[in-house]
Structure 1
Amino acid sequence: MTVTNDRPAALAPAEPWSRCLTCGALVYRKKLARNLNVCPECGRHHRLTAPERIAQLVDEGTFAPLGGRALAGDVLGFTDARPYAERLAEARRRTGLDDAVVCGAALIGGMPVCLAVMDFRFMGGSLGTAVGELITRAAERALADRCPLLIVTASGGARMQEGALSLMQMAKVSQALGALGEAGLLSVSLVTDPTYGGVAASFATNCDIVLVEQGARMGFAGPRVIEQTIRQKLPADFQTADFLLARGQVDAVRHRRDLREWLRRLFLATRAVAAAPAPAQPDPVVAEPHRLDTVDPWQAVTAARDTARPTLLDYLRETFDGFVELRGDRLSADCPAVVAGFAMLDCRPVAVVGHQKGHHTRELVSRNFGMPRPEGYRKALRVMKLAARLGLPIVTVVDTPGAYPGREAEENGQSAAIAGNILAMFGLATPVITVITGEGGSGGALALAVADQVLIAERGTYSVISPEGCSAILWGDAACAPDAARALRITARELLELGIVDGVLPEPPGGAAADPTAMASGLRVALGHALARLDRTEPDGLLARRRRRFRAFGADGSTDLAPAPTADKGWWE
């Protein structure tokens, strides 16, 4: 089979007109083809064949089909209204394909990738032995070539005519994806309409990244089956792309015209590269407390909370390039108070995870004032674990008054989510740098701050509790918050003296809010120097140093506890 990359020609059928299945509009087929088979009237994404999808996604002239064939046979002698052998023959004759998937290698944005693209025309894209074999071979080719794997799904589920053998393909492909993960290679599924049954319950959702085309539907059981089973009417948006995104099941939903660019940026921001040298500019970070001005703690609290200060999204625009956001905890929801994904820092791929507040009331409310729910911490950990497996450094940006204390958060395991992050970050075998850009509030901040190096902005704060909370508990009066702030020693200089942070990032005259661009530029240089220092340490050494760092807090005579015995080294060594 030959796949062309001349997009208009590849997408244009022979008939002159087409009627949209959603709005009923008659559209000139050449116009529809130029619009990537998306209705210009209502935006419905009509299905693409596998050759059309490949032509849309990959660099022109780069697709090479996977060598060898895999042909399904009628092992069971299955017959319903017609023999299975007849159905296979008809599907092959009608589509020109051997089965419901086309596999090969190509370039996307100049980067090599292996593809497995399903075609719904062939028996509803059902997963049979040949489909499972070909997708597994594509994964094995990605493993051999050490490149990402992209699977484009379009399927009604496992192929019933092949019985339990089709069921086994769910596990067969999954083990191949597991091998990619163990080798530090990325797997991505692009879910198109429809994706159901055994495909949804295996490789469509157990890839590292799940991208969904706008308008696609995905689920284990179809809506009609569910309604007939439970005798309940389902909501109109059930199992739609936006439904899945809101419930934390997928990473992103994109219009068809944006898929190729999104994938290009993702592959660019997750590829392994050699360690970069330190920036030519001098490191702006101050590591000696005496070089810093003394700041009144309450003034620091006021400055840290200033809504004009740069937020994480501001830094992603100014300090980093090509950010690709990933959403959802893959369990129940997405938390907008935590932003996570991959980006470029001076041509180096990194993971970026952090709190997001906002500059105005509407944004602050939509971001829950930067207070994460459990799903935010689970999302953050998912991205950080993926970064560690891909061998990419992690930058966390802390700016939160604390974790959200609401009833729903408690019901969904807020304490366990925070505790899980703190524990898991000690096992991330990749450099981790934390920058406290505003407020560092309690465990809600620490859950993103178990790092090899912790930096803080000159007007940032970091505390076990808010000054208001401390004063209400210990002073019996929230109005004593300024006194509590002074007693807690929460300013950047005091934290540096205590050894809680490793360095302080100076702010421009008037503070970060007065010149966000200068602040972002300083952060870029500071992160470059920090990464260059950490690059010199092997992963096992990073873990040991990270554990020693936190083991040392409170063990240097600053408490009344007797010193720990030194004859036997602890587990952190």
Structure 2
Amino acid sequence: MTTLGSVRQVTDSDWLACPSCRSLVYRRRFADELSVCPDCGHHGRLPAPDRLSMLLDEGSSRLLEWEPTEFDPLGFVDSRPYPERLREARRDTGLAEAVLCARGTLGGQPVMTAVMDFRFLGGSLGSAAGELITRAAETALAERVPLLLVTASGGARMQEGLFSLMQMAKTSQALAELDEAGILTVTLITDPTYAGVAASFATLTDVMIAEPGARMGFAGRRVIEQTIGQILPADFQTAEFLLSHGLIDVIQPRRQQRAALGRLLSLQQPRPSRLPVTADAVIDDPARLRSQETWATVRLARELGRPTTLDYAGYLLDGFMELHGDRMSADCPAIVGGIGWLEGLPVMLIGHQKGHATHEVIARNFGRATPEGHRKVARLMRTAAKLNLPIVTLIDTQGAEPGLTAEEHGQAIAIAENLRLMSGLPVPIVSIVTGEGGSGGALALGVADRVLACENAVYSIISPEGCAAILWRDAAEAPRAAAALRIDARELLRLGLVDGVVPEPDGGAHTDPARAAGYLRAAVTSTLAELLPLDGERLVRARRARFRRHGAQACS
């Protein structure tokens, strides 16, 4: 029973062979594990009805009603007539089409679902499938509930020719209308998701979750290798490949998907009407701040033990879900961001990530964001604006990544785009310099309604060493340059370059990270409490006026 030669025999009984590792698995256990191999973790394909049962709350599912027809606009025949293939697929799967749509609740949250089934003609996107996905989106729009798409497809259905291709445009248009209405959309990518589906509605959602090992792409491996003769990496187009190249947000094993999706769906539920306000959470009088040598502040700002963005996320937010990638080419490790709940209020937290130990600092590129990192920031901010989420940014970088690759990928353009984007976002934005705020790399996250600085943070046009090397022609003059640039929080507040200062524990945030996070939490909630009652137009107008006044006195 354990030999490969007996696989066919045991597959027909109470056992099956994992298609990935070939180990034998008891069928009942495989079902209990949601069709995931207990030995290697391979995620087997799930029929659409089973997927709905797995995701939706018991008894909540209500199928979207429609009447199937035999749509055959081309009279297509290969080895068999197309209508005959349709009838066979319906008989074999018990489904009327490659998509099953249902209303329901997930974790108590209302949702509209469209689940694809690869068993039905390879999950191909024909006219009926495209129509059903479009109707699901239109229902979500009419009922103002989130739309969850579960994809499994080889692409557009060839037997319907251009009618099938047009479904890509139709479904994409339906997703655009949900964007305009501020309705949350989520894709759960399962294996495989290719061609016309990947190049339309599947990749247009706010959040893209993939199952481990799920493959997604425009052209398949075999087509690429045969067309251009290129040898592709072993993990090509897998979820892990997609994550490393910034194309999806997160990989989620099947057992964890309900919880993750439930958190996301709750984004569109009623929110707290007010946040707690802490007296003196933000210091707005420079006289109340300790006076110390600027260079001493620089050293404290660079202390590796200071809390990072991910540290603060753990202290400040409940249910933080990190979202990855710029949806174009990469996931910059120097930028982290995601959604979490602050006193019950969902917020988008984005910040630089340096790390603590040397190996982590190197892996995070010393907190220097690449152009892809700045584009990830922009993507997350657009998502926040669509879903009406306040944005909190934590700034801690010596500056943006320099160098050949950064220049080739448009570093200056990426930063400029962020400055323009942030100036017009109709949601509250609070930016806090938690360590170093260096040049354009810092400002790319700093065009906010309120700009705060931690007590031992610094914010500068250039590093003191860089300034000293250029103007004094001696990097050893860095302490002198730091003082001349007036980059410490006390001077920044006096000059009106920041709106307030967040206290730190004696000796710096690194001496008591939990206490430092408590100060930051109080500052953020108190500041957001002030901003949340303001409508988007007023926020944008005041934000632009805030930055408009800097340096205005230079011209009479």
Normalising by structure 2, we get a TM-score of 0.96
What are the residue-to-residue correspondences of 1:81-480 with 2, within 5 Å? 81-268=79-266, 270-271=267-268, 273-274=270-271, 276-480=273-477
Structure 1 residues 203-222: Cα deviation after superposition (integer angstroms, max 9, x where no partner): 11111221111111111111
What is the identity, as a one-letter code, of the residue corresponding to 2:476? A
Report SS of the residue matched to 1:316.
Answer: helix
> 2:86, 2:531 → 1: CA distance?
57
Q: 1:272 to 1:443 in 2, by over 3 A?
A: farther
> 1:153, 1:99 → 2: CA distance?
14
What is the identity, as a one-letter code, of the residue corresponding to 1:422? L
Give, in angstroms, the shift of residue 406 of structure 1: 2.1
Give, in angstroms, the shift of residue 165 of structure 1: 0.7
Q: Name the structure 2 match of 1:17.
A: 15
Report SS of the residue matched to 2:203.
Answer: coil
Report SS of the residue matched to 1:378.
Answer: helix
Q: Name the structure 1 match of 2:59.
A: 61
> 1:283, 1:428 → 2: CA distance?
28
Is contact 2:430–2:449 with CA below 8 Å preserved after alignment?
Answer: yes
Give, in angstroms, the shift of residue 126 of structure 1: 0.4
Q: Name the structure 2 match of 1:499.
A: 496
Runs of 4+ in 1 over 6 A off after TM superposition: none
> 1:66, 1:195 → 2: CA distance?
23
Is contact 1:245–1:252 with CA below 8 Å preserved after alignment?
Answer: yes
Q: 1:19 to 1:274 in 2, by over 3 A?
A: closer
Report SS of the residue matched to 1:47.
Answer: coil
Is contact 2:454–2:504 with CA below 8 Å preserved after alignment?
Answer: yes
Give, in angstroms, the shift of residue 70 of structure 1: 4.1
- Residues 1:519 and 2:519 aligned together: no
Count how many residue pairs are aligned between Structure 1 and Structure 2. 546
> 2:275, 2:440 → 1: CA distance?
32
Give, in angstroms, the shift of residue 68 of structure 1: 2.6
> 2:463, 2:111 → 1: CA distance?
48
Is contact 2:275–2:526 with CA below 8 Å preserved after alignment?
Answer: yes
> 2:426, 2:419 → 1: CA distance?
14
> 2:155, 2:280 → 1: CA distance?
55
Question: Gapped runs of 5+ residues in structure 1?
Answer: 1-12, 563-573
Is contact 2:277–2:525 with CA below 8 Å preserved after alignment?
Answer: no
Question: Gapped runs of 5+ residues in structure 2?
Answer: 1-10
Q: Name the structure 2 match of 1:10.
A: none
What is the identity, as a one-letter code, of the residue corresponding to 2:409? N
What is the identity, as a one-letter code, of the residue corresponding to 1:296? E
Give, in angstroms, the shift of residue 281 of structure 1: 3.5
- % identical aligned pairs: 58
Give, in angstroms, the shift of residue 56 of structure 1: 1.6
> 2:467, 2:78 → 1: CA distance?
73
Q: Name the structure 2 match of 1:37.
A: 35
Is contact 1:72–1:129 with CA below 8 Å preserved after alignment?
Answer: no
Q: Name the structure 2 match of 1:482.
A: 479
Q: Name the structure 2 match of 1:571.
A: none
